[in-house]
A = this chain, B = another copy of it.
Amino acid sequence: MKIKLSFFGKTSEVTEREKELLKRISFRCPAEMQAMPQAGVRRGGCKTMEAEKLLSKLDSSDFLVALDEKGQEMTSVEFSKKLKRWLTEHGTVHFVVGGAYGLSESVLKRANVTLSFGRMTWTRELARLMLCEQVYRAGEIEGGSNFHK
C-alpha cells in the first residue's frame, strides 16, 4: 500500500510542515510527495502538458483522487474509511493538486474520485497542506489514536 501526493511546482516548495506530516503518515503507510514540473506555457496548453506528465506516471491500477472545488465533500471520518478501502482495493492511492490553472479535463476524467475541501477557494499551496493534514488525520482515525477528537 502506498500514498502518493503530486503537485505542479518545484521540489523546493515542499514545506517543513509538509515533510513532518509525510513522515508521520509514513509510520502507518508509505507516503511521498512529488513535484511535477510546471508547464511554462499559456493557459490551455499548460493544463494539457501537465496532464500528460501526470497521466504518464500513473499505473493503470492506481486509484487517482483529484482535488477539485466541484468534487465530493466528506467528513474526515468518511474520508478515512474511503481511503482505507481505496488502499486495500488498489494498492496505490495517488492524490493530485492542480497547477496555477487547475486540472485538465483529461485528469478529471481519469480520476476515480474528485475531492472538495468545501465551497471556499484555497490557494494550491494551502490545499496541499490541507491534503497532507487530512491524509494524516485519516490514518490516525483508522489507527484509533486520539488525534481526532
Contacts and interface: CB of A to CB of B under 8 A. Distances in A.
Interface of A: 73-76, 79, 116-123, 126, 129-130, 133-134, 137, 148
Quickly give the copy total for this chain: 2
A75 B130 contact: no
Contacts of A137: 121
Contacts of A116: 118
A133 B123 contact: yes
A126 B21 CA distance: 13
8 closest A-B pairs by CB:
A118-B118, A76-B121, A75-B119, A76-B120, A73-B119, A117-B118, A126-B133, A73-B118
Q: Which of A74, A122, A129, A134 has the most CB of B within 10 A?
A: A122
A122 B126 contact: no
B121 A120 contact: no
A67 to B, nearest CB: 12
A38 to B, nearest CB: 16
Contacts of A130: 122, 126, 130
A118 B121 contact: no
A120 B135 CA distance: 11
Contact of A122 (B119, B120, B133): B133
26 contacts: A73-B118, A73-B119, A73-B120, A74-B119, A74-B120, A75-B119, A75-B120, A75-B121, A76-B120, A76-B121, A79-B120, A117-B118, A117-B120, A118-B118, A118-B119, A118-B120, A120-B134, A121-B137, A121-B148, A122-B130, A122-B133, A123-B133, A126-B130, A126-B133, A129-B129, A130-B130
